[in-house]
């Protein structure tokens, strides 16, 4: 590739960066504030220091234009709700009295006021807080956060670009507020919202912004002609403003499809497009509309969602093709780097040669900078980087980590009958009722109980050698005893062992399976202050020995009631890991499913009659485009059935899902053929129960009656009322009573009170049913 002219030098940029800090300083400060140990001023100081450190790090790496406004105490969509003044009525007084406490109340709720609903951000494991809008919503601009953070970056002497959620995506992500008819469409509020965005843009320009980025990822989903017309209207209006900065409209996660010509024609100053494999069609589509003459194009060629190194030569070829399609071409990651860990250099337990296969946020930033330099100066300027990159890309193919012939042979031998139960559901249900002898409206929990500070300390002490294995296991046994004893006293019908030995529902299994790499500091934000360390699935998967049988068997020895065996399903094991990209996902899922099948069979052989295989990520991983979904759902549902298909008819298979739009996958939920499914439903007021009923779902279900992502304790009557709502959709003989999700993040006092109220609610409703 020849060098570009100096006047057209490609700039390097990113759309967002991990918020937490190298040691999760933000998490500690926010949670300290909630507990009263950190003042509001100290929290703001910590946040400002983290932002400044991120920007300096990016600038020092060679990034020409840093993002501002992407940093958040909890969630950037909630930040947008504040920016446009769309505060739900029940939270207005709290926000007016104390904006910071009111902000957190919207996110977490209080004892008296429910939080906003939470769901997944497109097909990622990041959760956002859903805006609540209605025909009476009044918007009002409040860009104080965005202006302040821009000012901080400019004060450091940096080129900065504010990043906002775009108005179309914001409205498409919103839901009707409680009490508003379900058929209300928030997108009808666009003309009311656009003047607020106009005011925000003018204020940002006055504060020194040359460019402002408006993120519109909702446009990569299937959109109706009316929705595309609305998007065209929005950007005609914003682009025609006279008092505004230059506008960059960004999309990511997939191809734009019919939305690309709409944005290309809009009177905006640039587009930021995804050109990774998932969105490769954007290249041909951009050429088909004649490119972006006179406009800026930011090319997202470095994948912002996985942890594998970039193919620099392939990316340079894409960038070279794009040079003729826009006035200027700059280089970026495909989306915010929020979705990947911070730095591979922190991973001391991964062998250095293997670590060279990986790129976290800092390494991806370096790749972006290298590509921008190569695009500007030509490949001769980066010959060393290209040579090293070629060698690193080739290394996995010859590594023993990645290929196991025995695993591949077993996966190839799978038959269709392996993924089917031996009897239909009606016959299984009768056998399970006779075997388990549960009451109507049986009560249970989802799996985990509070991970106390003592448990985390014990795990850390074992890791550092301060206690030995015997001492650690004694602590785990004591915790299981306490959890089982509490459940018996509370009156729960199907118990769990509480998972005190588990650090994470994916990582725990990954550390016991071949083919996975674990990280020490690979933290990624899931929601609020909840961070996870997704393991890295680098090779073929097998289970050398049982993973959960020992502790499940111990819990069963403490009680006469059923105890669930708890596993994480194959789709979730993939979705919440960083997965190898050298073979189809379906092939990898089959390997994981076979490893889990071995565990399911061992649990059953040991006497466990209820086994839960969680698949909270089934909806999350659903492709954004409808045309791509059947192929995904075929291998995803087959993988679940393959993991559970070998059990006896009287063994009851449960699954669990949470915080997603379940209506999109009701048929897939049916296709799993699980005997019982538990689902998040408290924040959405039993919406999923109605969706299951509309589909004619024939099996048992437990829509949650306790929102575990809020510290508030639901009253007995509140849980009972949700149960009554559920009974209007699901017959009593098929309805279970359970929380929304696992209790790992909750404290013991609220857990005890909430579960006692849950059991009391179930008893009250049973009495109502028996009296009717």
Block residue for tokens 């969105």: 279
Cα–Cα distances in angstroms (integers) from residue 171 to residues 26, 144, 168, 227, 460, in the given order: 29, 21, 5, 11, 44
Cα–Cα distances in angstroms (integers) from residue 129 to residues 684, 689, 714, in the given order: 12, 21, 20
DSSP for residue 495: B
What is the residue-wise DSSP string for 476-494? HHHHHHHHHHHHHHHT-SB
Partnered with residue 328 across adjacent β-strands are 296
Among 759, 772, 771, 680, smallest CA distance to 441 is for 759
- And the tokens for 158? 């940096």
Q: How many CB atoms lie within 10 A of CB 242?
A: 5
Contact 220, 257 (CB under 8 A): yes
Q: How far apart are CA 465 and CA 449, in angstroms?
A: 26
Contact 726, 679 (CB under 8 A): no
Block residue for tokens 């042979």: 409
DSSP for residue 253: S
Among 28, 131, 18, smallest CA distance to 81 is for 131
Residue 403 annotated to the active site? no
Residues 6+ apart with CB under 8 A from 175: 117, 130, 131, 132, 133, 186
Cα–Cα distances in angstroms (integers) from residue 106 to residues 20, 114, 544, 750, in the given order: 21, 8, 45, 19
Q: How far apart are CA 12 and CA 659, in angstroms?
A: 35
Block residue for tokens 């944005």: 263
Catalytic residue (choose from 91, 127, 497, 709): 709
Among 568, 579, 584, 588, smallest CA distance to 644 is for 568
What is the residue-wise DSSP string for 100-116? HHHHHHHHH--SSS---
What is the residue-wise DSSP string for 33-64? HHTTSS-HHHHHHHHHHHHHHHHHHHHHHT-S
* Active centre residues (catalytic): 709
């Amino acid at each position: 590739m020849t060098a570009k002219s100096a006047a057209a030098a490609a700039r390097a940029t990113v759309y967002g960066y991990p918020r937490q800090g190298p040691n999760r300083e933000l998490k500690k400060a926010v949670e300290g504030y909630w507990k009263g140990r950190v003042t509001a001023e100290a929290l703001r100081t910590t946040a400002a220091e983290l932002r400044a450190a991120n920007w300096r790090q990016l600038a020092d790496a060679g990034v020409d234009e840093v993002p501002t406004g992407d940093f958040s105490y909890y969630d950037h969509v909630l930040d947008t709700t504040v920016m446009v003044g769309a505060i739900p009525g029940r939270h207005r007084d709290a926000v007016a009295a104390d904006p910071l406490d009111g902000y957190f109340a919207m996110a977490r709720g209080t004892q008296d006021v429910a939080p906003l609903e939470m769901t997944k951000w497109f097909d990622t494991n990041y959760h956002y807080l859903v805006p609540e809008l209605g025909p009476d919503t009044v918007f009002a601009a409040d860009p104080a956060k965005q202006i302040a953070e821009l000012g901080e970056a400019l004060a450091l002497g940096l080129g900065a670009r504010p990043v906002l959620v775009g108005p179309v995506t914001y409205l498409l992500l919103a839901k009707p507020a409680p009490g508003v008819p379900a058929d209300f469409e928030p997108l009808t509020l666009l003309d009311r919202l656009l003047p607020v965005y106009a005011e925000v843009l003018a204020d940002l320009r006055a504060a020194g912004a040359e460019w402002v980025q408006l993120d519109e990822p909702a446009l990569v989903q299937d959109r109706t002609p009316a929705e595309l017309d609305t998007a065209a209207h929005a950007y005609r209006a914003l682009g025609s403003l006279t008092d505004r900065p230059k506008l960059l409209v960004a999309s990511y996660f997939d191809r734009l499809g019919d939305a690309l010509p709409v944005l290309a024609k809009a009177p905006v100053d640039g587009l930021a497009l995804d050109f990774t494999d998932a969105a490769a069609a954007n290249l041909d589509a951009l050429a088909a509309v004649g490119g972006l003459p006179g406009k800026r194009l930011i090319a997202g060629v470095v994948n912002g969602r996985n942890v594998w190194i970039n193919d620099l030569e392939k990316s340079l070829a894409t960038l070279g093709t794009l040079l003729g399609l826009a006035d200027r071409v700059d280089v970026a990651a495909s989306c915010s780097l929020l979705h990947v860990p911070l730095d591979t250099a922190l991973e001391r337990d991964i062998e250095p040669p293997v670590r060279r296969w990986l790129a976290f946020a800092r390494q991806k930033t370096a790749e972006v900078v290298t590509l921008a330099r190569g695009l500007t100066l030509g490949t001769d300027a980066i010959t060393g980087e290209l040579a090293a990159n070629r060698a690193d890309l080739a290394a996995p193919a010859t590594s023993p980590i990645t290929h196991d012939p025995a695993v591949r042979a077993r996966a190839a031998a799978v038959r269709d009958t392996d993924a089917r139960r031996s009897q239909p559901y009606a016959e299984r249900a009768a056998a399970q009722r006779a075997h388990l002898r549960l009451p109507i409206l049986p009560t249970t929990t989802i799996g985990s109980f509070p991970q106390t500070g003592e448990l985390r300390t014990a795990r850390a002490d074992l890791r550092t050698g301060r206690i030995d294995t015997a001492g650690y296991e004694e602590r785990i046994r004591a915790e299981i005893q306490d959890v089982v004893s509490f459940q018996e006293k509370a009156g729960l019908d199907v118990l769990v062992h509480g998972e005190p030995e588990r650090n994470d529902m994916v990582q725990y299994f990954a550390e016991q399976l071949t083919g996975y790499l674990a990280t020490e500091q690979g933290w990624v934000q899931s929601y609020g202050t909840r961070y996870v360390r997704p393991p890295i699935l680098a090779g073929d998967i097998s289970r050398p020995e049982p993973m959960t049988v020992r502790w499940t068997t111990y819990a069963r020895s403490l009680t006469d009631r059923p105890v669930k065996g708890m596993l994480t399903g194959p789709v979730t094991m993939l979705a919440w890991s960083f997965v190898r990209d050298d073979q189809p996902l379906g092939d990898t899922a089959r390997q994981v499913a076979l490893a889990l099948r071995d565990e399911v069979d061992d649990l059953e052989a040991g006497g466990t009659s209820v086994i839960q295989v969680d698949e909270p990520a089934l909806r999350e991983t659903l492709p954004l485009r409808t045309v791509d979904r059947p192929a995904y759902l075929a291998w995803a549902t087959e993988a679940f059935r393959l993991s559970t298909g070998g059990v006896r008819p009287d063994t009851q298979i449960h699954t669990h899902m949470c915080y997603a739009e379940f209506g999109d996958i009701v048929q897939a939920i049916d296709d799993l053929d699980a005997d019982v499914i538990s689902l998040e439903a408290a924040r959405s007021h039993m919406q999923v129960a109605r969706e299951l009923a509309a589909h004619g779902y024939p099996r048992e279900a437990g829509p949650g009656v306790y929102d575990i992502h809020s510290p508030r304790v639901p009253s007995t009557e509140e849980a009972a009322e949700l149960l009554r709502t559920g009974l209007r959709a699901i017959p009593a003989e098929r309805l279970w009573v359970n929380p929304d999700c696992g209790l790992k993040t909750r404290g013991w006092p609220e857990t005890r009170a909430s579960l006692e109220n849950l059991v009391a609610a179930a008893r009250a409703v049973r009495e109502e049913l028996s009296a009717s």
